[in-house]
Amino acid sequence: KDVEFIQSSYFNKLELTRFSSSVGKFVGFTEYGVKNAADWNNNPSLLSNMKAAKEVYCLNNIQTDYTAAL
């Protein structure tokens, strides 16, 4: 419940877009990023893949990462 999957895209140290599993969609931070986010949010297969990434990457590795951090 406390785990969140975030994938951001950057160019020249400027964040263009971000997908957050708590929001469930892409958010754009620049004009170019907003256009990309709108296109990506209209693609149901991409959104379902990104939502599943939380389970694939985060939930399967949280115990290993938590143990290593301690």
The verdict on residue 55 lying in a domain is yes
Kindly report, residue by residue over 13-52, the tens digit of the pLDDT: 999 999 999 999 999 999 999 999 999 999 999 999 999 9
List Cα–Cα distances, 65 to 9, 20, 58, in angstroms: 24, 20, 9
The verdict on residue 19 lying in a domain is yes
* Count of domains forming the chain: 1
The verdict on residue 1 lying in a domain is no
Strand, helix or coil for residue 8: strand
Reported confidence tier of residue 66, pLDDT bands at 50, 70, 90 = confident
Q: Which domain holds residue 36?
A: 6-69
pLDDT, residue 1, reads 58
Q: What burial class does residue 58 get, using C-beta atoms within 10 Å of its C-beta: 0-12 exposed, 13-18 middle, 19+ buried?
A: middle
The verdict on residue 40 lying in a domain is yes
- We report the CATH number of the domain holding residue 17 as 3.10.320.10
